[in-house]
Amino acid sequence: MAVLDISNLCIEFPTRRGVLSAVEDLTLSIEAGEILGIVGESGAGKSLTGNAIVGLLEPPGHVTEGVILLNGRDITHLPESEMRKIRGAQIGVIFQDPLTSLDPLYTIGQQLTQTILTHKKMSNAQAKAWAIELLNEVGIPAPERRFDAFPHEFSGGMRQRVVIALALCCDPCLIIADEPTTALDVSVQAQIIALLKRLSREKGVATMLVTHDMGVIAEAADRVAVIYSGRLAEIGDVRSVIDAPKHPYTKGLMDSIPQIGQNLKILPNIVGAMPRLDARPDGCAFNPRCSKAKFICHQQAAPLIEAGSVGQRAACWVYEGGEKYV
C-alpha cells in the first residue's frame, strides 16, 4: 500500500469573478522510501497540492473532489483538530523559509522538546536526549551546545536543518518539503538534499519534494510529476522523464535549461507563457504554445496516457492509440 495515495484531486477558489479551478483531476501516489518530485512553473499548483494534503489550504480555497489517503486512511476532509495531530506525528512539513516554521522567541531546544512532548509519551530528559539525537542526525555540529541557541543565531542552512529535525520529531511516514532548498546556497542545498535522501533510504520515509528546480529533482527524486496549469502533464521515473520526456511541455522545459559545455548561442525555449487560471484555454492548457496541437487538443484535455518507459505517462493526445513520433 502506498503511504500517500491521491486520486482525482480538485481544488477550487470561489472568487467574485467566478470559480477558479486551481488543481484539476490530480492523481498520484508515493511509496515508503520513495521521493516523488513535483515540478512546474510558478503558479502551476504545486504548493496548493502540498497544502491540501496537510489541511493547510487557505480559505476560500478548498478541495471539491477527490480522495487523499494516508496509509489507506481517508484524510481528505478531516477537521482541523484531527489534522493537527497528523501534521505533528505522521506528516512532517518543511517550507521554503525556515523562519516560518521556527518561533524566534524560543530556543531550538525548547521548540524541539515541546513538539516531541506533544506527540510522544516521554519524560523531559528523554525528550531532550531525542532532540539532541535528531540535531545530530540532521548534521548540526555539537548539538548539546547548540541546544539552547535561538533561531537567529543559526545560518540559513543550519536553520533549515533544524526545521527538518522538527519535522522528524515523531518519526513521520511522509514528509512534504515545499521548496526546501530554494532560499539556500547551492552548496548548502546539496547538503540538505543528501539529508532528505538519507532519510528516505534509511528510515523509509515517503517524501514529496516540491520544487521548480530540475537540478534538485534530478538529484533527489525517484519519480517526478510535472504539473502545468493545475494539471498533471507527465509522471514517471525520474531518468525517463528527464532523459526522454514525452509531454511537449516537459520536452520544451528540459531543452530550455542551459547546460555546461553546451555552447549554444540561443537557448531553445517555449514561446509564450503559462496561462493564468482565469484565462486557461479550452482543452489542453498547453495548446496555445504547442506545435503538435491538433483539433481535439482545443476541445478536450487529454487523460494520462502510457508513453515511453514503464510507468511513464503523459497527458497528451499524441500518445492516444500507441506512441507516435513527437
Partner 1 sequence: MSEQSLLEVQGLKMYFDVSPPLVTRLLNRMPRQVLKAVDGLSFSIERGKTFSLVGESGCGKSTVARAVAGLYKATDGNIIIDGQDLANANGKSKITDISRRMQMIFQSPYASLDPRWRVRDIIAEPIRAFDLANDKRDERRQVEQLLVQVGLSESDGEKYPHEFSGGQRQRISIARALSSKPEFLICDEPTSALDVSVQAQILNLMTELQDELGLTYLFISHDLAVIDHISDWIGVMYLGRVCEITPKAELFSNPRHPYTKLLLETIPDLRGGSHRKPLEGEVPNPITPPSGCTFHPRCPFANERCTREQPVLKEYGPAKVACHAVDEERI
| List of residues contacting ligand ATP (CB under 6 A) | 13, 20, 22, 40, 42-48, 58, 61, 212, 277
Residue of 142, 266, 279, 310 interacting with partner 1 (CB under 8 A): 266
10 Å CB burial of residue 215 (0-12, 13-18, 19+) is: middle
Scanning 108-116, 118-126, 249-257, 312-320 for contacts with partner 1 by CB under 8 A, the matching segment is 249-257
Residue of 302, 304, 305, 307 interacting with ligand SF4 (CB under 6 A): 302
User: Of 124 and 300, which has the nearer Cβ to ligand SF4?
Assistant: 300
Per-residue contact string for residues 219-238; x = within reach of partner 1 by CB under 8 A? xx------------------
By the rule CB under 6 A, 287 interacts with ligand SF4 = yes
Residue 140 exposure: Cα atoms within 13 Å on the Cβ side: 30
Per-residue contact string for residues 36-65; x = within reach of Mg ion by CB under 5 A? -----------x------------------
Per-residue contact string for residues 236-265; x = within reach of ligand SF4 by CB under 6 A? -----------xx-----------------
10 Å CB burial of residue 209 (0-12, 13-18, 19+) is: buried
Q: Which residues bind ligand SF4 (CB under 6 A)?
A: 247-248, 284, 286-287, 290, 292-293, 297, 302, 316-318
Q: Which residues bind Mg ion (CB under 5 A)?
A: 47
Q: Which residues bind partner 1 (CB under 8 A)?
A: 41-42, 155-158, 184-188, 190-191, 194, 212-216, 218-220, 239, 242-243, 252-254, 256-262, 264-270, 273
